[in-house]
Amino acid sequence: MSLVQLIYVSDLVGDNEAEIAAILKSSVRNNSKNGLTGMLLYSHGNFLQVLEGEKDAVDATYQRICQDARHRNTIVLTEEDVTQRHFSNWSMGYRQLGPEHVASLPKYAPYFQYGFDTSAIKAKPGVALEMLELFSQGMI
């Protein structure tokens, strides 16, 4: 048994944000069945997602996600062994980030205010997980 946490970014194809509801529905259904937990953030056409669970289940789900035509340019930021889950309350939590978050979170705004800035996020280890955890708490 090996618990892993995978974080990636990707770009929504087209501008149909209504697709996100369908993505979430199948994510919650499948992740509950497969013992996965996680969080999906959306900002200006970009996704930042964390998946955690048994390595085989995370990898199989990520392979399926990569083949989904509703997004493209999937880039793994980290895949690490973890001793415990960080998102155990969510089979797949979701937040859309907007101007209110740019104003209330100036420390993190440069990483998401025009969509997720992959280069800046890669250059600051830990910041992707910090943002995912912050938004999973639902207080902002």
Binding part of the chain for ligand FAD, among 16-24, 97-105, 118-126, 127-135 by CB under 6 A, reads: 16-24
73 scored as a contact of ligand FAD (CB under 6 A): no
At closest approach, how far in Å is the CB of 104 from ligand FAD? 25
CA–CA dist 140, 137 (Å, integer):
8
5 scored as a contact of ligand FAD (CB under 6 A): no
94 scored as a contact of ligand FAD (CB under 6 A): no
- What residues between 102 and 121 interact with ligand FAD by CB under 6 A? none
Select the residue interacting with ligand FAD from 5, 43, 46, 61 (CB under 6 A): 61
Q: Give the Å distances, CA to CA, from 77 to 45, 50, 99, 103.
A: 18, 10, 25, 26
Q: Taking CA 10 as the corner, what is the angle to CA 8 and CA 28, rounded to the nearest 5 degrees? A: 70
Percentages of the chain per state (helix, strand, coil), in multiples of 5: 40, 30, 30
26 scored as a contact of ligand FAD (CB under 6 A): yes
Binding part of the chain for ligand FAD, among 17-25, 77-85, 94-102, 120-128 by CB under 6 A, reads: 17-25
CA–CA dist 69, 2 (Å, integer):
30
48 scored as a contact of ligand FAD (CB under 6 A): no
